[in-house]
Amino acid sequence: MFFYTYIQGEATLITNAGEQILSLGMMAGFPAGEEDGHHLVNKSQSVVVYLEIGDRTSGDEVVYPDDDLMAKFSADGQWIITHKDGSEYANS
């Protein structure tokens, strides 16, 4: 499970369902294993402060549906980032 909790400002949450404005006191949660690419965008003129809460378990995987990227959390606590075909991603 993964949560965002907003502390200050107003951010736009973009998911497969569209856009939703999140403001003070609102939360958004995303269950593990559900394919719903999401990200936050600050379209306001103010600073946005939020708390991100999640679990980082060895073997966790993340797929970025709008990009050719995936990430796997390794047993040594590092993210291994590759293209979706498994080839190395060169972060430049």
Residues 62 and 40 in one domain: no
Q: Give residue 10's Cα distance to chain centre.
A: 17
When divided into structural domains, the chain yields a total of 2
20: confidence class by pLDDT, cuts 50, 70, 90: very high
Give the mean pLDDT of 26-35. 80
Residues 50 and 64 in one domain: no
Residue 24, pLDDT score? 84
Residues 49 and 65 in one domain: no
Residues 43 and 70 in one domain: no
CA distance 44 to 73: 33
Residues 49 and 80 in one domain: no
For the whole model, what pTM was predicted? 0.68
What average pLDDT does the chain have? Answer: 83
Range of the domain at 6: 1-55
Instruction: Give the C-alpha distances (Å, rounded to integers) separating 63 from 27, 42, 69.
Output: 22, 23, 6
82, pLDDT greater than 90? yes
